[in-house]
Amino acid sequence: MSELSEHLRALPLRILPPQLLAARGRLLGGRGSGYLIERHARAYRHAWLILVSGFFEPLFYLLSIGIGIGVLVGKVTGPGGHLVGFTSFVAPALLATSSMNGAVFDSTLNVFFRLKYAKLYDAALATPMRSGDVALGEIGWALIRGGLYAVAFMVVMLAMGLVHSAWAVFAIPTALLIGFAFAGAGMAATTFIRSWLDFEFVTLATLPMFLFSTTFYPLSVYPRPIQYVVDCTPLYQGIALLRGLTLGYVGPGLLWHVLYLAIMGMAGLAIAGRRISRLLLR
C-alpha cells in the first residue's frame, strides 16, 4: 500500500471520466510514462540489491565458461569466417543474453504482479495517464535497468581485453535495442497470461534461444535447415549485431538486425498498450 500511495502522490490527482479514459486508451505513451518510471525508481531505493544482482549472472558465465573452457577450446569461427578467441566470441553473446533476460524478467513477472495483484495500473489509469503511458513506462524502466547492466558488463569486457574494435562504442545502444525488443514482446505476451503457471512458456521460449542462438558456438555447426530457424530468432539478431561491433566486422548486413529488433519492440509496445486498454478500460 505504501508503494501505491507513493505512486499516486507522484501523479496528477485530476480524475478523468470513464468515457475519456476509454477514448484515449489506445494512444501511444507520452509524458505520463515518466511518472511510472519515477515510481519504480522510488520503489527500488530500498531494494537496490535486486538491481545489482542481475549483473552477476552473465559475469559468472563469462568467468566460468568464457575463461575456463576458453583455454581448452582456443579459437572458433567468428563473423565473416575469421578465427577469434573463444572468450571474445562468447562475451558479446552473454551481453545480448543479459539484455534479453533483464528485459523479459521486468516485462513479464513484474508486470503480471502489478497488473493482476497489485492493481497498480488500475490506479494509474484513474488519472490522466493512458494505457500507452503504462506500456511505455514499463518498457522504459526495463531499458534503464538493462542499460546499467550493459555498461557494467562492457567495463568488464574492456578490462579483460575482449573489445577489439572502436565500433564497440555502439554496443551499449545495441544492448538497449535488444532490451527494447524483448521488453515490448514480453509485456505484450504478459497481457495474455492467465496464471503463474503460464510463465513456463516464457522459459520455454528464452532458454532454448540462450542455448542455441550461437551463444557458445558458431552457426555453421548446425545442419542447414536448423541454421534457417536459428537465423530467425530475435536473440540471434542481437548476438550477431553485438558480435560484429565488438570484433570489428561491420557491414550493411547488420542493418537488418537493427530493423528486426526495432520492429519487434514497436510491435510489442503497440500490442501491450492496446491489450492493457482492453483489460482495464472495459
Largest Cα–Cα distance in the chain? Answer: 66
8 A C-beta contact, residue 150 and residue 176: yes
Cell 571474445 locates to 88
Length of the chain equals 282
Residues 106 and 137: their CA atoms lie apart, in Å, by 12
pLDDT at 169 over 60: yes
Band (pLDDT 50/70/90 cuts) for residue 51 is: low
Contacts of 167 (CB under 8 A, 6+ apart): 244, 245, 246, 248, 250
pLDDT at 20: 40
pLDDT of residue 30: 59
What is the share, in percent, of the chain residues with pLDDT greater than 70?
Answer: 86
pLDDT at residue 66, rounded to an integer: 65
Q: Tell me: pLDDT of 67 over 90.
A: no
Among candidate residues 41, 43, 33, the one with its CA nearest the CA of residue 3: 43
Higher pLDDT, 238 or 15: 238
Q: For the chain, which residues make up each domain, given as ranges?
A: 2-280
Q: Which of 279, 280, 178 is nearest to 237 (CA)?
A: 178
25-46 pLDDT, tens digit per residue, is 444 545 678 888 888 888 877 7
Q: Which one is predicted more confidently, 174 or 161? A: 174
CA separation for the pair 95, 170 (Å, rounded): 13
> Does the pLDDT of residue 72 top 70, yes or no?
yes
Q: Average pLDDT for residues 72-82, to the nearest whole number?
A: 80
pTM (predicted TM-score): 0.84
The tens digit of pLDDT for each residue in 223-255 reads 999 999 999 999 999 999 999 999 988 888 899
Winning range, highest mean pLDDT, from 14-23, 41-50, 91-100: 91-100
For residue 74 the three cell numbers come to: 582456443
- Per-chain mean pLDDT for the chain: 83
Note the pLDDT of residue 40: 84
DSSP state of 169: G
List the one residue out of 278, 261, 248 whose CA is nearest residue 100.
Answer: 261
The long-range contacts involving 22-28, CB below 8 angstroms and separated by at least 24 positions, are: 22/277, 22/281, 24/130, 25/125, 25/130, 25/131, 25/132, 25/276, 25/277, 25/281, 26/131, 26/132, 26/273, 26/274, 26/277, 27/130, 27/131, 27/132, 27/273, 28/132, 28/136, 28/269, 28/270, 28/273
